[in-house]
Amino acid sequence: MKIQPYIFPKNCEQAFRFYEEVLGGKIVELHHFKDMPPQEGHESTGGEGCGPSPEQLAAMGDKVMHVNLEIDGQSIMGSDGMEDGTVQGFKINLNFTEVEQGKKVFEALSRGGKVEMPFQETFWSKGFAMFDDRFGVSWMINVDDGSKRP
């Protein structure tokens, strides 16, 4: 089993292009709502489908229906699908073994965002930080090189 976060950041495509650059991954899928075919059976075609109408799809313009960013065999996926763009209730944790790498990613991702706890050594970690990026996504950076474990 793989656990893959699915997030709804503000300006999804811009956010994922930024994550691709900072985290060194690759966007392997990117679909926009405007390119989605109307659902078969939609009321506009005489059926009762539950998908958006062609007019609704066109109005969504270049908003992202689905994006998949792969990083070292793992994925973070997302969409512009949420109406207000608010992300709540979780943080994405990035775990590193090198302090320099953790600090570099923290500095890049947190720029223009809101830092809750700056990158610093803690009793459990050589480096730890919590913050929201400029797209409203909450992150934690943790450096675990095994030296702080009992």
Distance of alpha carbon 58 from alpha carbon 3, whole angstroms: 32
Query: Percentage of the chain surpassing pLDDT 70?
Result: 79
Task: Tell whether the model's pLDDT for residue 5 goes beyond 80.
Answer: yes
DSSP type of residue 53: P
Burial class (CB in 10 A: 0-12, 13-18, 19+), 150: exposed
Query: What confidence score (pLDDT) does residue 8 get?
Result: 87
3-state secondary structure 4-25: CCEECCCCHHHHHHHHHHHHCC
Distance of alpha carbon 102 from alpha carbon 107, whole angstroms: 9
Query: What confidence score (pLDDT) does residue 150 get?
Result: 67
Q: What is the pLDDT of residues 77-94, one digit of tens each?
A: 999 875 655 556 788 999
Query: What confidence score (pLDDT) does residue 59 get?
Result: 75
Mean residue pLDDT of the chain comes to: 84
Q: How many CA atoms lie within 13 A of 118 on its CB side?
A: 1
**Nearest-CA neighbor of 68 among 6, 142, 138, 1?**
6
- Residue 49 pLDDT grade (very low, low, confident, very high; cuts 50, 70, 90): very low
Most confident of 22-26, 33-37, 87-91: 22-26
